[in-house]
Structure formats: C-alpha cells, structure tokens
Amino acid sequence: MKPKHQRLVLALMAFIALIGAGFIAAAALRDEASYFYTPATMSKAKIEPGQAIRLGGMVQKGSIVQGADGVSITFIVQDRDATQKVAYRGITPDLFVEGSGVVADGRLRADGVFVADSLLAKHDENYVPKELADIDMNTAEHTKDTLSK
Amino acid sequence: MHRFANPARFLRLAKPLTPALFWPGLLLALGACAWGLFAVPTERLMGDTVKIIFVHVPAAWLGMGGWMGIAIASLVQLVWRHPLAGIAARAIAVPGATFAAICLMTGAIWGRPTWGTWWVWDGRLTSMLVLFFLYLGYIALANASSEKGDTSRVAAVFGIIGAVNIPIINRSVIWWESQHQKASITLGGSSIDSAYLTPLFVAVTGFSLLFGALVLMRMRAALAEMRIDARMRRMADD
C-alpha cells in the first residue's frame, strides 16, 4: 500500500468514527435537546405540577377564549395525539392565531391547566403570499402533520 | 489531482475566473435583493418580514457549504499533500464565518417580529452559533503560525473534525423539537410559494458566485504574500 493510500484509509476511518460519534451523541441528546414538549410527549414524560417546562404545538381552531379582564386568555394546544389547556396573561405575538404554532414557557397547575409565563409564535415551513392564503386554507392542517411527526 | 497543484497554472486559471464569478454574482445577488424587496407579495402571516429570507437562506447555506469546503480541502491536504488545498481551506474561512454571522443576525432580526424573541437556545440556532465559533477557532488556529502561507496539519484536522457539526445543523429541526421551523426546501420539493422561491434561487446563485470569487481572491492574495515573503528572505540572505 502506498503511503498516500494509507493516509486516505486512515483519514476516512477517522472521519467515519467521528461522524458515528457525533450521531451517537446526538441520538443520546434526543429527549434532552428538544426545545419543548408537545402535549403527547408531556404526558409521557410525567411532568409534575410546578415544574418549569416549555410546551409547543398547534393552537386548536376555535379554542382561544378571551378572559373578562381583556388581557388573559385560555386556549388549547394540540399535537396529533393529545391536547393541553393553556392559560396566559399578557400580550400575544402577532403570529399567534388559531391553527398556527406556539411555544409557551410555564408550568402545570395542580388542576392540569398549563400556566404560561411567556408565549412565542412558531412559524411553519410554508411561505404563502397573502392573496393566495384564502385559497390555501389547508396549510394549517399540513403544518399540524409535520409538527407532530 | 495534481494538475492544478502548480501555483503558476492555478493563477493563470484563477485570474480570469475571478471577475467571471464576481460580476455576475454581484449582479444576481443585488438583483435578487431588489426583486425580493420591491416585487414580492407580502406573506399571509409574516407580512413584509418574509423578505429577509433572500439574504438569510443564502447566508445559511454558504456558511454551512463553506465548512464543507474547508473539510474537503483539509482532507485533500492531509491525504494527497496537495499544496493548494491548505491555502484554499484558509481562504474559505473568513467568507464562511462572515456568511454564518450574517445568517445569525438576519435570523435574529426575523425572529423578533415573527416569534417574539431575538434568540432562543433551540437545536438549530445553537448548532449554527457553534458553527460560527468553529470558524473563529479555525481562523485563529490557521493564523497561529507566523510563517506566511504555512499550512499546518493541526488546522486541517480541526477542519475535518468540525464537519461533524454540519449534519447536526441540517438534522436539528428533525431530531429535536425546535423553535425554528423545519426545512422548507428538501429533495422532495418545496413548501415555499414560487413567488418567493424563484428570487430565492437567484439570490442563492448570486451569493454563491460571489463566495467563489472571494475565495479565489483570497487564494491569489495568499499566494502573492508567499512570493513576497520568499523574495524578502532571498534579499535578506544576499
């Protein structure tokens, strides 16, 4: 074997070992590195009331209820398999609408309602011009599929 | 492989290639930005904020593609001892770092009105920030030698190891729940409306050509510096 080929084999072996190590590390981080729980993974993870977590999912259509004081709202976050009721007091982001994605920081209350301290809107991977949006109302459905994957 | 190893032959090729990449690249990049800024419809949810993708997406791709270039050039340097490979890897580092930084900044500017925050520590944003820091580390390591045009193997090894981060950036939105949306453009197709997709491809082409021109310029500058250094040393010896 020429030294050139020896170096090539060595470099390739090292590279494959590195990529493998990277993938194993990433797989080990699978649960820990998720930025948020979805309603389904949340119930699986057995979150205690009072434990600070992040919840993400789609805002269920028709679930946003404005409170009497005008600044508190409740709504339901859903993924494909489960739903979670959320209460929030404050100003919502512009992109926070029914059928769109949301990420909420907060904790579970003893009665099972998730109390959010902050809300972030989550944009999906679809880019649709305004004038086409009315025709394309099934995009929110589409996002739901990709989000709960 | 070694046909272009001769710096003189490389320079003969690079000299006309630089403007041939630079001017069309500048024209396409500026044209795509103007197209995106003035002639593209507002998005159904994001409104005008969507227009930042014409800079953000090319910057993200080139930031990642730049490191792939460094990794491949480093491999060629280590295995085939190609004399230009180390110089090419070093020439990619600064433009690559710049595009990674542009990606992070435009992303933050987009995230504030869209998500409601400048920054979150999710998988995609964090791994992209790691890429930027890897670039800085690589630049520091590659410039550690006082010798002009010196291509140490330490930097090449670092360039190959750092490539582990690239598939992590790419997969981050699939492996982990993230604030960042999933890929819009995949091998299977695109979920971006053609009104945005066409100028986006023009922008990606333009910025890529510019990137290539910048790398060639930096390689030529590095070779010229090496020649100056060699001549100075000869004069000092006389």
* Beta-bridge partner residues of A134: none
Tell me how far apart the alpha carbons of residues B159 and B139 are, in angstroms, rounded to a whole number: 10
- The answer to whether residue B27 scores a pLDDT higher than 70 is yes
Tell me how far apart the alpha carbons of residues B92 and B90 are, in angstroms, rounded to a whole number: 5
Contact B193 A37 (CB under 8 A): no
Residues sharing a CB contact under 8 Å with residue A111, sequence separation 6 or more, in sequence order = none
Highest mean pLDDT among A31-35, B192-196, B217-221, B227-231: B217-221
Tokens of B9: 């032959």
Using one digit for the tens of pLDDT, what is the confidence trace for B197-232? 999 999 999 999 999 999 999 999 999 988 898 899
Cα of B179 to nearest chain A Cα, Å? 6
What is the three-class DSSP state of B119? coil
The shortest CB-CB distance from A7 to any of B79, B161, B164 is to B79
Contacts of B181 in chain A (CB under 8 A): 122-125
| Ordered alpha helix ranges (H), chain B | 7-38, 53-80, 85-114, 123-142, 153-162, 165-175, 194-237
Res B96: pLDDT: 97
Percent of chain A at pLDDT > 70 equals 87
Res A149: pLDDT: 38
Q: What is the pTM of this model?
A: 0.86
The shortest CB-CB distance from A120 to any of B41, B179, B184 is to B179
Closest CA to B154 of B166, B165, B138: B138
Contact B193 A132 (CB under 8 A): yes
Res B56: pLDDT: 96
Contacts of A148 in chain B (CB under 8 A): none
Cα of A53 to nearest chain B Cα, Å? 13
Tell the burial category of A24 from Cβ atoms under 10 Å away from its Cβ (0-12, 13-18, 19+): exposed
The shortest CB-CB distance from A129 to any of B41, B117, B182 is to B41
Predicted complex: ipTM over 0.95? no
Indicate the average pLDDT of chain B. Answer: 90
Residue with the two structure tokens 């919502």: A92
Cα of A43 to nearest chain B Cα, Å? 16
Q: Where are the domains of chain A?
A: 1-33, 39-147
Residue with the two structure tokens 């994957």: A149
Tokens of A114: 């998730």
Q: Contact at 8 Å (CB) between B134 and B165?
A: yes
- The answer to whether residue A134 scores a pLDDT higher than 70 is no
Domains and their CATH numbers in chain B: 20-37+50-181+194-232 (1.20.120)
Cα of B33 to nearest chain A Cα, Å? 17
Res B147: pLDDT: 62
**CATH code, A39-147:** 2.40.50.140
> pLDDT confidence of B124, banded at 50, 70, 90?
very high
